[in-house]
Structure 1
């Protein structure tokens, strides 16, 4: 069954749908580095199918350039990623590119979620524009235009909880109204990634729509018991300090049951992007203090509880949880795109390493497999990871949709 992924980001949703054997016809993404990451993932799957993953590894280890890598890949594989902003000016061109890729085949499913900065509570606090004045608020209209053109049987629309309250709920009400007018029954739920086996608490609005003439209903998802912790997830990763990275591509141990079950690592993987950002001395001291308190008292330290010489912000009344430890013996709190700005909210639980999370650790918390390479350097990688839908969650949503559509098409 054929899928279009809109506002695709680094490809968490499409990764999950691909695992359930959906055919990703096109990814549409405006960010240059996220689009390059999507293309790299397409290259990975092409070389996997051809039993030539050694070429992919040569690229990951910087033994061949991207130009050399691309020489092995047909253009139709690379062209699946459409790196363009969706707007009135570009929409027709994007449609033409999709039409060329689908080659008259029907589109069965559309997935994706417009950028959420104007909807998120934190984003609204930082945004100088009102929600209704922010052009990003209305990007959903292009999603609906794609529904009108391709008439998929089902679509999956993902966004942050804040979309429900934006402009006192009027924005979401309008989105639902336009989807109904487009000929779809819709239902939404707030789903948490931890209930899908992801080692992270991450709530998102998952709205599913289906053509009003088909027998379909919102899938029933039974919350899974959380078997694993951050310690299980990080078990095989080498010790690194702030500002360091692993360059020999080697793990410290074999694959444990957690990594196998969550599809994080397999026997052919090499360790890539286990890279931590550098930190100022004062931040490293704060990190140690936070981890100390967590280890001793199992509580998160508030900013105004730090020793006076470590408090440099004038604001000691709000944002008191600006430093946060990711606990070893539990799941993580939500990974968000702000991790690209600093690591204060994602302090590594090992006091000896004394740093924030590495790229690979953040990617694992989001359930990305170790073979997933994020292009563009450390900051771009963190932003892509923080914005993504966890592939494991996406896979289990795709599984239910596949079951329902298989019955419909039988």
Structure 2
């Protein structure tokens, strides 16, 4: 089952497909750090399948360099990650590189979703033109060019909820018409990551298309009962952190629990990486403390205009009043987005004894990335990649279904 991943990001969608036995022919990703993360993850899968995974762990512990890691696997695996923006100018070169990787093999599926800012409700609310002139609105046309060239039996297209309303449904309707025009019957559904074991309220539009004229209906995906809690089941075994503290290697403080075992969060080793958090100034720490107290003791969210005047630095007290948000310890987290790379105000750790925003590893766990997943490029780049990703557990549910269809 060969696939190509377009707009691949850090590989959350791909991870779910690889777990289900799919074989990546190529990943196309414009961001350098995310492309490096993909190479490192492909190195993990190769070494894991070859019973040489200890080499990967040596890299995580900084015992060998990244070049040494990458050089220890076949060159064609590293070069299957194409670090390029998909544009009119670059598309032919990308095709050439994929053709080389493909050889005589056929492509069974194309997966991926173009950058979502152009369709996102937040993006539109912040843009005076409501993103109407944004070239990213039409990246789906490039996606369609890959379908025309490689003729996969199926495709999976992921995007934000805003796609359903952007341009008064204009983009969604245009997409479905274009897919039909090039020979694919497609259907879409809004999936909620919580139904697939992810401890996060995250809803996304998924379009699945099948080659041929026969009407395609979105298949039923297998869901699971998700009664687990963020603090008890997801965070409990990670060491306490101070703001600005970096644990590049973090030893677990508790045994593996039922959730971590069922969802393969922990991987049989006694440590994880990138348990690092950002530094906060005194003002923010005081605000975090108020927000934590309100949420843990009264189940109330902090509204910006309720803060004492001395703590308010924004003049705007009418809009974006929920600038500070504590992750719910007894339920599931709110949606992790790429803005987490700018500041941690929206992702405050739910504990009065640890007043800080969540760490890179905690954000990765909320997105259901396994603990041996390493994000290249440093803390800010890691947060951005995690916020933009498709949760691997939701991706895996899609892969299970696609495997049955194939």
Could you tell me the TM-score, scaled by structure 2's length? Answer: 0.97
Give how far 1:266 is off: 2.1
Is residue 314 from structure 1 mapped to residue 323 from structure 2 by the alignment? Answer: no
Give how far 1:88 is off: 0.8
- Mapped to 2, the partners of 1:361 and 1:266 lie a distance apart of 16
Give matches, 1:258-297, under 5 Å: 258-268=259-269, 270-297=271-298
1:230–1:331 CA contact under 8 A, matched in 2 = yes
1:27–1:82 CA contact under 8 A, matched in 2 = yes
Give matches, 1:87-236, under 5 Å: 87-127=87-127, 130-212=130-212, 217-231=217-231, 232-236=233-237
Per the alignment, residue 349 of structure 1 pairs with 350
Give how far 1:213 is off: 5.2
- Mapped to 2, the partners of 1:316 and 1:182 lie a distance apart of 49
Most deviating of 39-48 and 213-222: 213-222
Give how far 1:299 is off: 1.5
- Mapped to 2, the partners of 1:49 and 1:336 lie a distance apart of 32
- Mapped to 1, the partners of 2:359 and 2:245 lie a distance apart of 9
Per the alignment, residue 57 of structure 1 pairs with 57
Give how far 1:215 is off: 8.5
Per the alignment, residue 408 of structure 1 pairs with none
Q: Give the secondary structure class of the aligned counterpart of 2:246.
A: coil
Per the alignment, residue 334 of structure 2 pairs with 333
Question: Which runs of 4 or more aligned residues in structure 1 lie more than 3 Å from their structure 2 counterparts after TM superposition?
Answer: 127-130, 213-217
Give how far 1:35 is off: 0.3
Q: What do the CA deviations read for 1:338-367 (whole angstroms, capped 9, x no partner)?
A: 000000000000111100010000000000
- Mapped to 1, the partners of 2:176 and 2:102 lie a distance apart of 28
Per the alignment, residue 76 of structure 1 pairs with 76
Q: Give the secondary structure class of the aligned counterpart of 1:132.
A: coil
- Mapped to 2, the partners of 1:48 and 1:222 lie a distance apart of 27
Per the alignment, residue 299 of structure 1 pairs with 300
Q: Give the secondary structure class of the aligned counterpart of 2:313.
A: coil
Give how far 1:163 is off: 1.3
Q: Give the secondary structure class of the aligned counterpart of 2:17.
A: helix
Q: Give the secondary structure class of the aligned counterpart of 1:273.
A: strand
- Mapped to 2, the partners of 1:208 and 1:236 lie a distance apart of 37
The number of equivalent residue pairs is 405
- Mapped to 1, the partners of 2:400 and 2:55 lie a distance apart of 31
Q: Give the secondary structure class of the aligned counterpart of 2:236.
A: coil
Q: Give the secondary structure class of the aligned counterpart of 1:187.
A: strand
Unaligned runs of 5+ in 2: none
Q: Give the secondary structure class of the aligned counterpart of 1:246.
A: strand
- Mapped to 2, the partners of 1:375 and 1:243 lie a distance apart of 19
Give how far 1:77 is off: 1.2
Per the alignment, residue 362 of structure 2 pairs with 361
Unaligned runs of 5+ in 1: 406-410
- Mapped to 2, the partners of 1:267 and 1:223 lie a distance apart of 26
Q: What do the CA deviations read for 1:240-294 (whole angstroms, capped 9, x no partner)?
A: 0110022443111221111111111021252100001111110011001000011
- Mapped to 2, the partners of 1:119 and 1:268 lie a distance apart of 40
Most deviating of 374-383 and 214-223: 214-223
- Mapped to 2, the partners of 1:171 and 1:26 lie a distance apart of 27
Most deviating of 159-168 and 245-254: 245-254
Q: Give the secondary structure class of the aligned counterpart of 2:210.
A: strand
Residues 398 and 80 from structure 1, CA distance in 2 versus in 1: closer, same or farther, beyond 3 angstroms? Answer: same
- Mapped to 1, the partners of 2:336 and 2:187 lie a distance apart of 26
Is residue 380 from structure 1 mapped to residue 381 from structure 2 by the alignment? Answer: yes
2:123–2:130 CA contact under 8 A, matched in 1 = no
2:248–2:276 CA contact under 8 A, matched in 1 = no
Q: Give the secondary structure class of the aligned counterpart of 2:350.
A: coil
Q: Give the secondary structure class of the aligned counterpart of 1:104.
A: coil
Give how far 1:123 is off: 1.3
2:187–2:216 CA contact under 8 A, matched in 1 = no
RMSD: 1.4
- Mapped to 2, the partners of 1:213 and 1:311 lie a distance apart of 58
Give how far 1:222 is off: 5.0
Q: What do the CA deviations read for 1:69-102 (whole angstroms, capped 9, x no partner)?
A: 2221210110110101111111011011111111
Give how far 1:308 is off: 2.2
Q: What do the CA deviations read for 1:285-310 (whole angstroms, capped 9, x no partner)?
A: 10010000111101211111122221
